[in-house]
Amino acid sequence: MRVILYFLVLTSIPLTRVYGVGLEFGIYGFELFLKEKQNTKPLEVPNWDFHNQRWGQVFRNDAYLNRSSGESGFVGLKDKNNRNQIHWDLDAKLTTGPETGLRNYYLGKNHFLGYQSKLFFLGVGRREHLFSPKSFSTQYDGSEGLFLEIKPESNLTFQLMIWDFYSGSLLLSKDQFHGLLRKESSSEFLTSEKKNEGFSRSHHRRHSFGIHYGESNSLRFGVHYLELGSFGPNTKDHPSETKKNSADGDSLFSGNFGFGIQFETLSFAFDFLWCKGSDRTRSQIAEKPGTIPIAGEAIQIGTELKLGDFKIRSSHFLSDTAETNQNHQIVKEGYISMGTHPSQTPYLSQIFRMFPSAAVTESGYEKNFALIEGRAFGYLTELVLSYQYQQVIVKLIGNYFVPYHQNGLLDGRIHFQKRQFEKFFVAEGMLEVALKTEEGFELGVGLSQLYLPESMGISSNFGYVYGRYQI
């Protein structure tokens, strides 16, 4: 009922008062069925379970059934225009808020205002990184702050993100179902840190520089520097430095180099990703007390084939591992990603939100070997089959993730052999049907099924409907 009233208020706004600025509003309804059964069969990997940290103890003792449903809504402002030398590209959404599992507002991929001269564009706000990897169609990273763009030729762009208040590059499309389990769960399942955190976001300083060259055939290169400080649970472990300097010296350099080739019916994208840095720590898990070096690599590959009204896209992400010694101490950490989750299915990208590597999200630097909020090194693949008939679009999406072994000696490299990975996998299949009209109306329904090993004793499916209208 709350969303219906919200919808009516939005439609009653007099359009003559917005002077041509575009409005967008939408509603979502969803239902989750999740069942955990008592299971005597041992887990393939004892360290992996449904929950991490304090959640797991409750769920191991009692069988659990969660059937949750809800709704949410948003109203958005969209406008792209210029007046004299002032250019703007606005895209922001106000939502129904934390009571419906959302943050109060979300920015779009671009939301900025700036000054355009013959030589450069200087802007402030959120700006998409044109040099980001393109293998996964919905993956996104962008800066929030002050940026400079230079375009000496029509197909060559230099981007300098002078000051970026990095907080995970959140988008509504990547976060609309993220709070579903957390919103429905009892407070006894949450740590005291999570209770106090709520939907708060930490902002930390990041600087980026990137180059994008070409159109249908393109080259891209980018580098980032992020001052982690005590940003995230994996950095808060050097008390004296944190107390003295409000940070413990953790920092991260990362970058990517890639290219894209596009033919009439076939396209291909490849990106090599790397990171280097240091995690200062006194933890006994470090081989050398004081610091853990960060030196990781990953690769992304994507291909897309168009056959009439059919489109097939295959995307792949493969990271390296951490490096350990014979005492299971960490010699160096592996690859750490930034930006949104690569995939687009609700379980892997939002409800559980399992990243295929360590990651710096809105909560900071995290590395967890668990289903909920997992940040585990491994292999992620996504297959999308879509068909469009006039205004109807049908999508079949499959996601598959398998992590590396965490037991034994790890060499910190990228591996392709099956024996280097765990015995189990996490997979998801999804069907979405949507109607999109030229007038800006969109209506859709989606169904998703989670696939886990029988020994985990979990079965779950998820459904949602949505409507969106742009004026």
For 381-415, write each residue's pLDDT tens digit.
999 999 999 999 999 999 999 999 877 788 889 99
Please state, rounded to an integer, the average pLDDT across all residues of the chain: 82
pLDDT of residue 38: 63
Structure token digits, residue 201: 């976001």
Q: Which residues contact 46 (CB under 8 A, 6 or more apart)?
A: none
Nearest CA to 32 out of 73, 69, 64 is that of 69
Average pLDDT rounded to a whole number, residues 120-127: 96
Rounded to two decimals, the pTM is: 0.86
pLDDT of residue 183: 52
pLDDT of residue 175: 92
pLDDT of residue 238: 42
Rounded to whole angstroms, the Cα distance separating 267 from 113 reads 33
Which range has the worst mean pLDDT, 228-232, 290-294, 423-427, 465-469? 228-232
Q: Are strands 336-338 and 358-361 parallel, antiparallel or unpaired?
A: parallel
Average pLDDT rounded to a whole number, residues 429-451: 94
Nearest CA to 340 out of 123, 161, 209, 166 is that of 166
Task: Name the residue with higher pLDDT: 458 or 384.
Answer: 384
Structure token digits, residue 122: 């200087």
String of DSSP letters for 177-201: TTTHHHHHS-GGGS-HHHHHHTT--
Task: Name the residue with higher pLDDT: 92 or 196.
Answer: 92
Instruction: Indicate whether 117 pLDDT > 50.
Output: yes
Instruction: Indicate whether 127 pLDDT > 70.
Output: yes
pLDDT of residue 169: 92
Average pLDDT rounded to a whole number, residues 177-200: 52
Task: Name the residue with higher pLDDT: 331 or 289.
Answer: 331
Rounded to whole angstroms, the Cα distance separating 429 from 344 reads 11
pLDDT of residue 43: 60
pLDDT of residue 286: 56
For 181-198, b/e burial (b = at least 16 CB within 10 A) is bbebbeeebbeeebeeee
Query: Can you point out the beta strands (E) in 320-425?
Result: 323-324, 330-332, 336-338, 358-361, 364-366, 378-389, 392-403
String of DSSP letters for 32-78: EEEEE----SPPSSTT--SS-TTHHHHHHHS-EEEEEEEEEEEEEEE
For 436-457, b/e burial (b = at least 16 CB within 10 A) is beeeeebebebebbbebbebbb
| Helix spans in 328-461 (H) | 346
Q: Which residues contact 410 (CB under 8 A, 6 or more apart)?
A: 321, 322, 323, 324, 404
pLDDT of residue 209: 97
In contact, 420 and 405? CB cutoff 8 Å: yes
pLDDT of residue 1: 42
Where residue 4 falls among pLDDT bands split at 50, 70, 90? very low
For 52-100, write each residue's pLDDT tens digit.
444 444 444 455 567 778 889 999 999 999 999 999 999 999 998 888 8
Instruction: Indicate whether 146 pLDDT > 80.
Output: yes
Residue 127 pairs in a beta bridge with 143
Is residue 258 classed exposed, middle or buried when 0-12, 13-18 and 19+ CB atoms within 10 A define those classes? buried
Nearest CA to 178 out of 110, 107, 98, 284 is that of 98
pLDDT of residue 326: 84
Is residue 246 classed exposed, middle or buried when 0-12, 13-18 and 19+ CB atoms within 10 A define those classes? exposed
Task: Name the residue with higher pLDDT: 315 or 424.
Answer: 315
Average pLDDT rounded to a whole number, residues 323-329: 83
Task: Name the residue with higher pLDDT: 319 or 290.
Answer: 319
Query: Can you point out the beta strands (E) in 183-308?
Result: 204-214, 218-227, 251-262, 266-281, 290-307
Rounded to whole angstroms, the Cα distance separating 132 from 68 reads 36
Instruction: Indicate whether 51 pLDDT > 60.
Output: no
Taking the alpha carbons at both ends of the chain, their separation in whole angstroms is: 24
For 240-274, write each residue's pLDDT tens digit.
444 443 335 578 999 999 999 999 999 999 999 99
For 333-358, write each residue's pLDDT tens digit.
999 999 999 999 999 999 989 999 99
| Helix spans in 248-329 (H) | none
Where residue 440 falls among pLDDT bands split at 50, 70, 90? confident
Task: Name the residue with higher pLDDT: 114 or 186.
Answer: 114
